[in-house]
Amino acid sequence: MKVNVSQQQLAHGLSIVSRAVSPRSTLPVLANILLTTDEGRVRLSATNLELGISCWIGAQIIEDGDGLTVPARTFTDLINTLPSDTVTLNVNSKTQTLNVRCGQNNTDIKGIDAQEFPPMPVADIEDGIDLNVSDMKEIIRQVVFAASTEDARPVLQGVSVTMAENILTLAATDGFRISVRKAALSNPVRKPASIIIPARALAELARIAADGEEIIHMILPPGRGQVIFHMKNTELVSQLIDGNFPDYKAILPKSFRTTVILSTAAFLKACKQAEIIAREGTNTIRLNIQPKTDGPGSVEISAQSEETGTSDIALDAAIEGEGLVIAFNVRYLREVLEVITTPSVSLQVNTSNSPGMITPTDTTEFLHVVMPMHLG
């Protein structure tokens, strides 16, 4: 195999697939990137057996032939140091060596036979569900942060994805908060489906999906326990998580005694300021919700740390219902406010020891429920 490729395109492709390289594995080939030709383009692939990413880049195919796997870090670091010029890649099958030439640079990298690389599944796009890239990136961003990072309950490290008729619903929870996002599908699904996708895989999908009006084809190969996301120049395959996702709908509050409307930007800024003090202690902030009959009410946000000091911030707010003092983990509030794009946000609460709900004011498609902290 011998090809000419652009250094910039090759570096970009390697930056995409290298996120799936296994840093620690008993299989040496999993630390490598597979380099092959595919219908007039160069295909780069990497996998850690749970997540696999492939990227296709335009190339001049001088000679088709056997591919090769080469150490990801060595290959990526080398390409990143080359000048912005044409790179010639030449695989010697007999010595399992990749020769890299660019300008005055000439490097040989020892590799491992492509036959030892785990086979990547082939996507049948006709059976796929079409998702709009720009919508999907926002949907993922509003959900994945609420998934657990603990290994104790693998099912909570995933995102529940359900599809019924023309509605797509994503939900994630770590036991202390729940994020739920709904969206309309452009085409109804043939049959309902409910799966759990690792949050990390969806985060990678949002990262590698190009901006624009591109379509993501989501494919569920029968009996494989996998999901494939296919795009024009990239493809991501992930193992699904086995297990039963918590029945989060049963936990969602049905009604509220108090509704507070705040400026999203002001609320976020106040949380960031309070977090400077709160993070030195238990990460707890108190919200003192004070309605007024003769004008806008106020929300006083306070944080206290024995070592650092105290912080008090007052925000104007439109308040319906009773006054209340409630405490939250400030990081949880900050993280949800960072993914809300509307100018104002609604905080709905019942009592100081029951969950609060945060939603954008102009849509019912996104909701976030967060458990309160103990009022010390």
Q: Within 10 Å of residue 318's Cβ, how many Cβ atoms?
A: 14
Enumerate the domain spans of the chain: 2-116, 125-249, 253-370
Strand partners, 238: 51, 227
Q: Is the pLDDT of residue 106 over 80?
A: yes
**What pTM did the predictor assign?**
0.92
Matching CATH topology for 2-116 and 253-370?
A: yes
pLDDT of residue 212: 64
SS3 (DSSP) at 353: coil
Asked if residues 352 and 325 have their Cβ atoms less than 8 Å apart, the reply is: yes
Could you tell me the strand order of the sheet in which 193-198 lies? 193-198, 158-164, 167-173, 177-184, 366-370, 356-360, 344-349, 258-263, 309-321, 297-305, 284-290, 324-329
Instruction: Provide the mean pLDDT of the chain.
Output: 93
Domain 125-249 CATH (choose: 3.40.50.300, 3.30.470.10, 3.10.150.10, 3.60.15.10): 3.10.150.10
What pLDDT shows up at residue 258? Answer: 96
Task: At 77, give phi and psi (nearest 5°).
Answer: -60, -40
Higher pLDDT, 151 or 118: 118
Rounded-to-integer distance, Cα 46 and Cα 30, Å:
7
* DSSP reduced 3-state for 164: strand
| Fold topology of 2-116 | DNA Polymerase III; Chain A, domain 2 (3.10.150)
Choose between 350 and 23: higher pLDDT.
350
Span 3-10, average pLDDT: 97
pLDDT at 307: 85
Is pLDDT of 376 > 80?
no
pLDDT of residue 133: 67
> Residue 374: what are its φ and ψ, rounded to 5°?
-70, 130
Least confident piece of the model among 63-67, 159-163, 186-190:
186-190
Quick one: average pLDDT of 324-331? 97
CATH number of 253-370: 3.10.150.10
Distance from C-alpha of 78 to C-alpha of 374, rounded to nearest angstrom: 53
d(CA 21, CA 18): 5
List the structure tokens of 227: 């999901």
In the block, tokens 């001049």 appear at 60
How is residue 219 written in tokens? 């494919």
